[in-house]
Amino acid sequence: MAQPLVKKDDDHDDELEYSPFMGIEKGAVLQEARVFNDPQVDPRRCSQVITKLLYLLTQGESFTKVEATEVFFSVTKLFQSKDTGLRRMVYLIIKELSPSSDEVIIVTSSLMKDMNSKIDMYRANAIRVLCRIIDGTLLTQIERYLKQAIVDKNPVVSSAALVSGLHLLKTNPEIVKRWSNEVQEGIQSRSALVQFHALALLHQIRQNDRLAVSKLVGSLTRGSVRSPLAQCLLIRYTSQVIRDMANHGQSGERPFYEFLESCLRHKAEMVILEAARAITELDGVTSRELTPAITVLQLFLSSPRPVLRFAAVRTLNKVAMTHPMAVTNCNIDMESLISDQNRSIATLAITTLLKTGNESSVERLMKQITNFMSDIADEFKIVVVDAIRSLCVKFPLKYRSLMTFLSNILREEGGFEYKRAIVDSIVTIIRDIPDAKESGLLHLCEFIEDCEFTYLSTQILHFLGIEGPNTSDPSKYIRYIYNRVHLENATVRAAAVSTLAKFGFMVESLKPRITVLLKRCIYDSDDEVRDRATLYLSVLGGDGTVDTDKESKDFLFGSLEVPLVNMETSLKNYEPSEEAFDINSVPKEVKSQPLAEKKAQGKKPTGLGAPPAAPASGFDGYERLLSSIPEFAAFGKLFKSSLPVELTEAETEYAVNVVKHIFDSHVVFQYNCTNTIPEQLLERVNVIVDASEAEEFSEVTSKALNSLPYDSPGQAFVVFEKPAGVPAVGKFSNTLTFVVKEVDPSTGEAEDDGVEDEYQLEDLEVVAGDYMVKVGVSNFRNAWESMDEEDERVDEYGLGQRESLGEAVKAVMDLLGMQTCEGTETIPLNARSHTCLLSGVYIGNVKVLVRAQFGMDSSKDIAMKLTVRAEDVSVAEAIHEIVASG
């Protein structure tokens, strides 16, 4: 690694680029290291050689085993020198060489001697070196000295022993745990650092003993800790204790909050920050608890120190995600940070403002951002674009100015990731806000006119093919698409041909003209483009009977019914022969869902790239999965799939969750099962459902899972019939039945005969909310007024005592399963009343809008006035029934 540096030096003026390590070379230095063996040690020379060795290591050079051993052996000879400077370097190089356990023997006696030396510096360093290189058996031999060192009167020695203890705890916990008395003493030390290290070690020793940790925190919070670092640690431990207590169901006044709050007045800024952050991260923090923390962070925002500003804005940014209203007080300070020299601070300030801003400030904010965008790096821009996307979903009315902003930055210079983020955002906005569709598509069309990224061009062309034909004037897109056929590379040309064909198929009036365009593509230089053109020409030229129409439509717009992975394996296994490849032979079952998917659930796929990636989650994925199973094909269109509901506790032998799929006259339960026992293979996995508490449902069929190996999830299905279009509710109890086979973990082979067994799962309920789909409206007021006032149903409900207004709002939202509109899901802090706007589609495709007004009195009793408008009066009444019974 030293080489390039040296070459560079040679090119430059030697005077300027002088370095004592010029021309350094490993071989030569290793030669030089022989001076360590001289009978008369020259400390100065030896130190220099060690520095050179360390320099080589730091530059990324590595020594072979033989080289390292040789250096190590000769270095050990240097213990005979009394020079303290040299000894320090010897300690350093021994740590870097990390000798193997059989070599360590050679230095242990020297180091043990130093450990008991009169020179403090020797004692401290020898401890650190020794603890770094020894193993458990040697440790028991020196344990006595280490315990002594912990209570040494010199703080440096004591810290060295405590820090070494922290490292050793990972490898030899049982030994270190015996030191707690000495460590306890260290906490009382007058030295700030010793106190810090002792506290860290004592907590690590006791971390699995909840009671002991809570006692430790309890005694220390009364104030004997002087070191700011130790105080920071104590704050971290305190919030851990608070979290634990909450998890174990201890309610009432939050313990230790007073302590955290008092730390906000500490004189060390690092403690203030730590405490403020701890408060903002408390589970279910209330606005009253939050206020003092926000106040100190606000002061930090105008500090001359960039680190403080960064820390404050970063914390507030996080708070803004959950409590946007709490942060609004800081908006003025935040706005002045947009012009901060430090771009990281500026970006965080902007994204925070985007989260906390209200509808009226959007335009002003966008103006400020426009100036800012030109001088920040792409990675910051991506963060801003993402924030704008969520803003647009929150305030659909503002889509015009946000869309203009996105299209402007799309035209400017930028790398692939940045452009993709913008395109993804525009696509999301088009999907979520129907009004934005036409202008958004035009912006995308303009973009592909001059787009250097093939991937983005093809994705946009595909998207155009799906959305474009349904617009008011599809013909205006044709020019943009056909231009691609002239100007682009083969991949984009092929994509353009497909898109043209989709327009031709969907828009009858364009068909003849598109046929002409496609005919020109037959002379393209690329095979794929020609093939596609020919194929689509024959599809478009069909005789127009209903049957072929449907087939062509499936062909153009349908998705591949088999998972791509299975398709790939089948194609690879296919040997060219007389028999043609049959797509029906490809297995349709999704073999193994990655475990990571569990975490991704509930995340709506956004943008272009996302949907195909997740095969079996999300609505599209479920729809595809279900339609691939022949038994379910006749049920018609899938109305709604619920989020997975866990039917087992975490960490049980078999993990099962269920997804409820609602069809017009059927309900399908999809049981996702995971076997977490490596020694078992489960076969014929089925769920027996008792529907005695669900009168309107009758079981039609079930589909067992043939085999469930360890750690690869599989699905079993049970189907119920219910009256068509009726939101029937009921409770189902479930039992998992299966045949267990022992698996030999070494070979992975299962034994032949198994044992039948069953496993009780938790109950499952179908509730009214399952029949409601979240569908947003872009302008609630317009939608509301367009519904007939005659069909309005109003009623008032008492919701009883609640902790906060937010809790009540959330309960109602969960019950109804509707989409909140215009950002009304966020409730101002301290608010005593709130209005929530909800929209959705009820089974039978009935559009429903709800206006829920909440009010809270001084005793925290909450009342709600619920106004429902629906296209069907009976549905409006049904909504009231849901609320009344829930």
Q: Return d(Cα 736, Cα 368) in angstroms, integer.
A: 59
237 scored as a contact of another protein (CB under 8 A): yes
Nearer CB in complex with another protein: 239/425: 239
126 binds another protein (CB under 8 A): no
Size of the site for another protein (CB under 8 A): 66
Q: How far apart are CA 853 and CA 766, in angstroms?
A: 27
| Binders in 169-228 for another protein, by CB under 8 A | 193, 196-197, 200, 203-204
User: Considering only residues 126, 217, 220, 229, which one is a binding residue for another protein as defined by CB under 8 A?
Assistant: 229
88 binds another protein (CB under 8 A): yes
Binding residue for another protein (CB under 8 A) from 240, 404, 439, 491?
Answer: 240
Among 138, 151, 156, 688, binds another protein (CB under 8 A): 156
Q: Is 247 in the site for another protein (CB under 8 A)?
A: no
Q: Which is nearer to another protein, 149 or 827 (CB)?
A: 149
Rounded distance, CA 200 to CA 180, Å?
12
- Interface with another protein, residue 5, by CB under 8 A: yes
CB 84 → another protein: shortest distance, Å?
4
**Cβ–Cβ under 8 Å, residues 771 and 842:** yes
Is residue 774 near another protein by the rule CB under 8 A? no
Counting Cα atoms < 13 Å in the Cβ hemisphere of 704 gives: 13
Crossing angle between the packed helical segments 306-322 and 343-356, to the nearest 10 degrees: 20
Contacting another protein within 330-359 (CB under 8 A): 341-344
Taking the least distance from each CB to another protein, the nearer of 16 and 211 is 16
Q: In angstroms, what is the minimal distance from the CB of 45 to another protein?
A: 10
> Which listed residue (6, 35, 43, 886) binds another protein by CB under 8 A?
43
Main-chain dihedrals φ then ψ at residue 294, nearest 5 degrees: -60, -40
Indicate whether 63 belongs to the interface with another protein (CB under 8 A): no
With binding defined as CB under 8 A, does residue 92 bind another protein?
A: yes
29-37, 82-90, 639-647, 761-769 -> range binding another protein (CB under 8 A)? 82-90
For residue 431, which of 775, 769, 804 has the smallest C-alpha distance? 775
Give just the sign of the alpha carbon dihedral 692, 694, 698, 699: negative
Regarding 269 and contact with another protein (CB under 8 A), the answer is: yes
Residue 44 Cβ vs another protein, minimum distance, rounded to whole Å: 6
Minimum distance from CB of 8 to another protein (Å)?
8
DSSP state of 522: T
The length of the chain is 886
Of the candidate spans 15-23, 401-409, 654-662, 715-723, the one that interacts with another protein by CB under 8 A turns out to be: 15-23
- CA dist 189 and 179 (Å) reads 16
The conformation of residue 829, written as its DSSP 8-state character, comes to: T
Q: Helix (H, G, I), strand (E, B), or coil: what is residue 528? A: helix
- Give least dist CB 178 to another protein, A: 21
Q: Is the dihedral of CA 49, 52, 57, 63 positive or negative?
A: negative
Q: Which is nearer to another protein, 232 or 444 (CB)?
A: 232
Contacts of residue 207, defined as CB under 8 A and 6 or more positions apart, other chains included, come to 213
Closest alpha carbon to 516 in 491, 492, 485: 485
Return the range that interacts with another protein (CB under 8 A); candidates 306-314, 574-582, 753-761, 866-874.
306-314
The full DSSP string for 677-746 is -TTEEEEEEEEEEEEEE-TT-EEEEEE-EEEE-BT--EEEEEEEE--TT----EEEEEEEEEEEEEB-TT
Which listed residue (29, 41, 50, 866) binds another protein by CB under 8 A?
Answer: 50
Q: Is 311 in the site for another protein (CB under 8 A)?
A: yes
- Does 56 interact with another protein (rule: CB under 8 A)? no
DSSP state of 561: S
CB nearer another protein, residue 196 or residue 480 = 196
Among 51, 184, 475, 733, binds another protein (CB under 8 A): 51
For the record, the structure tokens of 779 come out as: 């302008």
- Taking CB under 8 A as the binding criterion, the range among 86-94, 251-259, 625-633, 647-655 that sits at the site for another protein is 86-94
8 A C-beta contact, residue 595 and residue 711 = yes
* Residues in 272-301 at the binding interface with another protein, rule: CB under 8 A: 273-274, 277
What letter does residue 884 receive in the DSSP assignment?
Answer: H
**Interaction of residue 159 with another protein, rule CB under 8 A:** yes
The first and second tokens of residue 855, run together, are 């009010």
SS3 call for 792? coil
The DSSP bridge partners found for residue 245 are none
* Strand ranges in 358-483 using DSSP code E only, listed in sequence order: none
Q: Of the listed pieces 88-96, 419-427, 808-816, 839-847, which binds another protein according to CB under 8 A? A: 88-96
Q: Among 241, 228, 207, which residue's Cα sits nearest to residue 273?
A: 228
If DSSP codes are grouped into helix, strand and coil, which group holds residue 628?
A: coil
Residues that bind another protein (CB under 8 A): 1, 5, 8, 18-21, 43-44, 47-48, 50-51, 54-55, 58-60, 62, 84-86, 88-89, 92, 95, 121, 128, 132, 156, 159-160, 163-164, 166-167, 193, 196-197, 200, 203-204, 229, 232-233, 236-237, 240, 269-270, 273-274, 277, 304-308, 310-311, 314, 341-344, 377
